[in-house]
Amino acid sequence: MTALQMQIHLRDLQTERALASVEGLSGNSAYMADLNLEIAAMHLAYVGAAVTEIATLRAQLFGSQQG
């Protein structure tokens, strides 16, 4: 999954959380806890993927920066 795909999925999860609140599901603690954990995990994965993609692009453009 690319960083862009992860970002889209993260936004979908955040939208789901907002809709759950509007629909009165915020009182369902198990559902909300699971959703919040999934959002947190996707956020971490997204950041990692984005940093990796940036580093990869930089390496392709400028080569190794050792030394």
Q: What are the tens digits of pLDDT across the range 26-46?
A: 999 999 999 999 999 999 999
Instruction: Taking residues 10-32, report their average pLDDT.
Output: 96
Flag whether pLDDT at 8 surpasses 70: yes
Distance CA 42, CA 48 (A): 10
Other Cβ atoms closer than 10 A to 31: 13
5 token code pair: 């795909």
Q: Please tell me the pTM assigned to this model.
A: 0.84
Name every residue whose Cβ is closer than 8 Å to that of residue 9 and which is 6 or more positions away in sequence.
1, 42
Amino acid letter, residue 37: L
